[in-house]
A and B are shown apart, each in its own frame.
Chain A
Amino acid sequence: MNSCLFFTTLLIYLGVLLSVAYFTLMERKCLSSLGIRLGPDKISFGGFGQPISDGMKLFTKEFVPPSNSAKIVFFLVPCVSLLLCFLGWQIFPCSSVSPSMGNDILFFLVVSSVNAHVAIMSGWSSSSKYASVGGVRGFAQVISYEICLSITLVAVMFFSGSMSFFVLSDSGWSAWWGFYCMPVAVLWVTICLAEANRAPFDLVEAESELVSGFNTEFSAGSFAGLFIAEYGMILLMCLVTVWSFFQNSCVWTVLGSVWMFTKVGIFAYFFVWTRASFPRFRYDQLMMAAWKSLLPFVLGVYCLFFFILKF
């Protein structure tokens, strides 16, 4: 039993790495198709070797810390980022800690909160102008939307009755919780886009503005670590979206798992689709959206659930 859980955790890590790699390929192909051009298709049968060769390239390039940087922090930030991504994926039910975890939702909240610090630490430790501005911007954006994310998760806790996604799953989820609160589901997807620093909220790494934001100075394996962690968190948020608002009736069969992962894939495609469709927010519009629009709205959602419970 122990060794079995050990291997399933390793399989989760392997699955996350492969998923992230092929998510990048899917993103490039989809963005190209949405721009009526071909994506990468030269490497081995339609581009399927592209992520692997990209990975090999990244891991064999040279690691150059900037001269003024805090070198230990500079090395550790991508490690911490990747560690947080893997930790977040432990809420997946076959990992070694999830049988004893009755608080998946809270764990996800904690991991995404700590993830905010990666942006500021990578920006600070690079000691480059673009990186520090990008880091500060990214941190401010993530903490502003973190509040809305936390209060929206209260809606999920309301339906689930506890702090775990799977308390009711023995009897199966009877309907999509998102049907009962579709505006909250739409709100949740928007906040996930903002938390993941994805378009249209991607001022952090706006290539037209800030070279590469907080990961300007990161070279080879470090950049790969930050990149994998970012896309891993995107996939984790797609998974949490499916578990919160668009559940299966039974996840523990083969067909149920296939349907669940199909839905995760649909949300991953939705992330890519919004990147191709919407222009970027201006920075003050972004912050005003968080503090003036979304935060009163999530407080209103909270009051709505309060009234449902009381009256």
Chain B
Amino acid sequence: MSLELIFLVMTLSLAPIMVSLSLLNFEEDYYDWDKSSPYECGFVGPKVPGDFSSRFFHLVILFLVWDVEIVLLIPCLQDLSVWSSGGAPLIVFMLILAYGLYYELMDGSIKWTCQK
């Protein structure tokens, strides 16, 4: 068996084994409503997940776009040290990034307080 396979099996099994140590006390047939209800004091809370937060979703889309831009940015610096060309497209790319960030800030989609 190859080294990587042994390593993979060992790593993948170590974490569930550690967490399962507490499963030795787990009795499925003893079902206590109070112990397994959500954390609240004395009343049954609203149905969770509640409302969908569109501001959060917008933030995640923004992060996704920036993540792809990072993936493009990381090799650019390596390329610059090797080849003498490629500076001008990178400047244009950075300008597009900067303008995108400025637009998002002005548009208010990453504004987190509601001002009247």
Binding site for B on A (CB under 8 A): 2, 5-6, 9-10, 13, 58-68, 75-76, 78-83, 86-87, 90, 96-97, 113, 124, 126-132, 136, 139-140, 143-144, 146-147, 150-151, 153-154, 157-158, 161-162, 211, 216-217, 219-222, 224-225, 228, 283-284, 287-288, 291-292, 295-296, 299, 302-303, 305-306, 309-310
Contact = CB atoms under 8 A, between A and B. Distances in A.
A306 B22 contact: no
B43 to A, nearest CB: 12
B23 to A, nearest CB: 6
Contacts, number: 176
A65 B36 contact: yes
Nearest to B74: A154
Considering the complex of A and B, which 3 residue pairs feature the smallest CB-CB distances, nearest first?
Answer: A221-B22, A284-B112, A82-B15
Contacts of B94: 299, 302-303, 306
Contact of B38 (A161, A217, A305): A217
Given A6-B3, A59-B21, A221-B21, A283 B38 contact: no
Contacts of A219: 22
Given A82-B18, A82-B19, A128-B45, 20 more contacts: A9-B10, A60-B25, A61-B22, A63-B22, A65-B36, A79-B19, A127-B49, A128-B38, A128-B48, A140-B56, A147-B66, A150-B74, A222-B19, A283-B112, A295-B101, A296-B98, A299-B101, A306-B94, A309-B77, A310-B80
A7 to B, nearest CB: 11
- Interface magnitude class on chain B: 35 or more
A139 to B, nearest CB: 8
Contacts of B59: 140, 143-144
Contacts of B78: 157, 162
Contact of B81 (A86, A90, A309): A309
Nearest to B71: A150
Interface of B: 3-4, 6-7, 10-12, 14-16, 18-23, 25-26, 33, 35-40, 45-46, 48-50, 53, 56, 59-60, 63, 66-67, 70, 73-74, 77-78, 80-81, 87, 90, 94, 97-98, 101, 104-105, 110-113
A68 B39 contact: no
Contacts of B97: 299
A80 B15 contact: yes
Contact of A154 (B19, B73, B111): B73
B39 A211 contact: yes
B38 A129 contact: yes
Given A59-B21, A61-B22, A143-B60, A132 B48 contact: yes
B82 to A, nearest CB: 10
Nearest to A82: B15
Contact of A59 (B3, B22, B73): B22
A52 to B, nearest CB: 14
A9 B6 CA distance: 11
